[in-house]
Amino acid sequence: MTLIKSISGIRGTIGGNVNDNLTPIDAAKFAAAYGTWLLKRNKDKDKLTVILGRDARISGKMISSIVANTLVGLGINVADVGLSTTPTVEIAVPLEKADGGIILTASHNPKQWNALKLLNEKGEFLNGADGEEILEIAANDNYDFAEVDNLGVYSKEKGYIDKHIEEVLKLNLVDAEAIKAANFKVVVDAVNSTGGIAIPALLKKLGVSCVELYCEPNGHFPHNPEPLKEHLTDISELVVKENAHLGIVVDPDVDRLALVCEDGSMFGEEYTLVACADYVLSQTTGNTVSNLSSSRALRDVTEKHGGIYKASAVGEVNVVQLMKDSNAVIGGEGNGGIIYPASHYGRDSLVGVALFLTHLAKNGLTCKELKDSYPSYYMSKNKIQLTPDLDVDGILVAMAEKYKNEDVSTIDGVKIDFASEWVHLRKSNTEPIIRVYTESGSQTNADELAQKVMKEIAAIAGI
């Protein structure tokens, strides 16, 4: 069982011992630290408001009650949007002129996990300095709770997914009429979480015929919730059986979007951003950003349209900051996360679906034909489980030194760029692992590069 504290929030497994897992006491402690930080940040305001939402995890209702009442105890008003998505809460914060937001979700992690993901008043994830301050408050248990006459007020806010959908439909590059005219039939796998509410509702508004697979938001994930090829056999088969134009897959909190082609093959989560960027750049002059672990295909598409591509450290807050610094018109992460500033600075599968379907409707290609029109890169994503005795930083330094004659970046772990392929090694922010990502011109080459590097790491570590 595990509890991971980071600048972006707290994530852990339900049950077990305090400080080792995400227990009710840990949830209350971290909610209190976040609320205390908000109060310190807004000393001149009489009353603060926090938007609270959750995915459909079994533990969600329990954790939500604890977090909400802890904030109320600090004198902060809580507007609870209930079953929701991460991007919905991100949009709700500025729309409601709230002072912050908390999303209760462990994203792609299995059902025993949950987390508090923290937002600022813009509905964006906290920067490093703010996150560190909250961690320090939590470490010192430095809270000052409100007296009885100054308690916050708890309220339920209904219909925010519908409001989110309306915001998506307002986007200039979303052409609902073109999508409707295309008569698309789509299969949706929402892993029995809140995407099962949001994605079918969006598709209905866009005039798309929707076949629902695992769209009951009961928190019982029917397969591993990370939207990777090996977990998506059911939807691949159903897309072919239903003669659908494509399949849409989202993770439990609906910030990652993966697509399945009409023949059941993977469009590839890396290519979700590539396709959406291709469409946006065809309509809007500008630049793009993704993280160091994302495909080179985005760089190729960006340069085709005359834009400049830049790579950030992994983590949504890092991608967003570089997007702002470089005036990027679209960006995101290669795990299927689309960030479109014309909507908001957060990964949003609803925006991604609407942009992708517009692109598909306007170019007249099938999903498979569109995928085949992009540069072909293949990724291998692997993990090395960490043990307490491993000197991970020392291993990364040694790998950087070993390949010092190549193009090496150390802004986030170690990325080694070769002429026709690359490898990125980094400690995960959310799991006790080293991620080993490689990309090459064939799956065989990507897999072989990954195995070669993992053997080198094992030799250095003596494991």
**Environment class of residue 147 by beta-carbon count within 10 Å: exposed (0-12), middle (13-18) or buried (19+)?**
exposed
Which backbone phi and psi does 157 adopt, to 5 degrees? -115, 115
Residue matched to tokens 């399949």: 247
List of E strands, 92-140: 100-104, 113-119
Strand pairing report for 287-291 and 309-312: parallel
List of E strands, 397-446: 407-409, 414-417, 422-427, 433-440
Rounded to whole angstroms, the Cα distance separating 212 from 189 reads: 7
**Environment class of residue 77 by beta-carbon count within 10 Å: exposed (0-12), middle (13-18) or buried (19+)?**
middle
Which are the catalytic amino acids? 107
Handedness of CA 440, 445, 446, 449 (dihedral sign): negative
Virtual torsion, Cα 380, 9, 103, 95, nearest 10 deg: -110
* 324-330 contacts at long range (C-beta below 8 A, 24 or more positions apart): 326/287, 326/289, 327/286, 327/287, 328/286, 328/287, 328/288, 328/289, 329/280, 329/281, 329/284, 329/285, 329/286, 329/287, 329/288, 330/273, 330/276, 330/277, 330/280, 330/281, 330/286, 330/288
Residue matched to tokens 């080179």: 296
Contacts for 168 with CB less than 8 Å, ≥ 6 apart: 174, 202, 343, 350, 351, 354
Rounded to whole angstroms, the Cα distance separating 268 from 275 reads: 10
Rounded to whole angstroms, the Cα distance separating 134 from 140 reads: 10
Contact call for residues 194 and 83 (beta carbons, < 8 A): yes
Sheet architecture: strand order including 49-54: 3-6, 9-13, 113-119, 100-104, 49-54, 77-83, 154-156
Residue matched to tokens 């090996």: 230
Please give the single-letter amino acid code of residue 59.
S
* Number of Cβ atoms within 10 Å of the Cβ of 459: 10
Rounded to whole angstroms, the Cα distance separating 74 from 51 reads: 15
Tokens of 213: 């697979």
